[in-house]
Amino acid sequence: MDRIEHHASFGGTQSVYQHASQVLGCDMKVAVFVPDHEEGARLPVLYWLSGLTCTEQNFITKAGAQRYAAEHGVILVAPDTSPRGEGVADDEAYDLGQGAGFYLNATQKPWAQHFQMEDYITKELPALIEATFPASDKRSIMGHSMGGHGALTLALRHPGFYLAVSAFSPIVAPTQVPWGEKAFSAYLGDDREAWKAHDATALLASAEERLPILIDQGDADDFLAGQLKPEIFEAEAKRVGHPLTLRMQEGHDHSYYFIASFIGDHIAHHAKALKA
């Protein structure tokens, strides 16, 4: 991994690295915060997945998460949201292609060649992080919007891999909203039944473990009614008995002002599970 950015932060280091991804077939950037720690210590790792149009930069510059990660002794890893570069398929729209990987493995052309984000997040990247940094194999995952969708679905699809999961303003039912329908049609094809394997609401009934889920959602979010629909997820979690804390936050929108307001709660939620 080539370090291309490095900053002291809250006693630790916030860096950005670039590496060649064999899974995605392109160079990828990933941000890593390592808190101050004793020599020889192995620290748990919290993965952050960002939303549509974002890169690794949005979270590390806007969320204010380093302070809380330092307090709890947790490594923060924030990858880019998709493969990028010359030769990587793209679309003119903001919600498809580069910047919009949806954290799944695409099966359709031209996307399948590079858009294997599920394998990157759950296989290649953790192996790289645990081989390069003072990281243990204790992992948890959280995200925002499209990244909230990714955090929930990857945790549900890979039981035992993560010890905690949470999300801000997640796309909880992508098979029932325009963002998901557009992306899944392109990446997965026209079989809507196949889409359900990447829909957090649809996955709840067959979940093999019951990780408590924490979701924060702003009630002033412009995307709340049309794209996010947390009430669908809440109803299904209640029906199947999956533990869920859904907090509707008055006056908050879809922005990083919202994330920064509650990121401390989320990191504490993860730290409790990671250090149990």
CB 97 within 8 A of CB 89: yes
Token pair of 146 as six digits: 């499209």
Kindly name the residue from 9, 50, 82, 145 that is annotated as catalytic: 145
User: Could you say which of 95, 221, 242, 270 is catalytic?
Assistant: 221
Exactly one of 254, 266, 269, 270 is catalytic; name it: 254
Q: Is 197 helix (H, G, I), strand (E, B) or coil?
A: helix
As beta bridge partners, residue 167 has: 143, 215
- Contact call for residues 206 and 157 (beta carbons, < 8 A): no
User: How would you classify the pairing of strands 244-249 and 213-218?
Assistant: parallel
| Interacting residues of 206 by C-beta distance below 8 A, sequence separation 6+ | none
Question: Residue 254 catalytic?
Answer: yes
How many CB atoms are closer than 10 A to CB 230?
A: 24
State the residue for tokens 């380093």.
Answer: 66
Q: Which two tokens stand for residue 170?
A: 């997640």
What CA–CA distance (Å, rounded) separates 108 from 189? Answer: 6
Q: How many Å apart are CA 253 and CA 68, to the nearest integer?
A: 22
Question: Which residues participate in catalysis according to the annotation?
Answer: 145, 221, 254
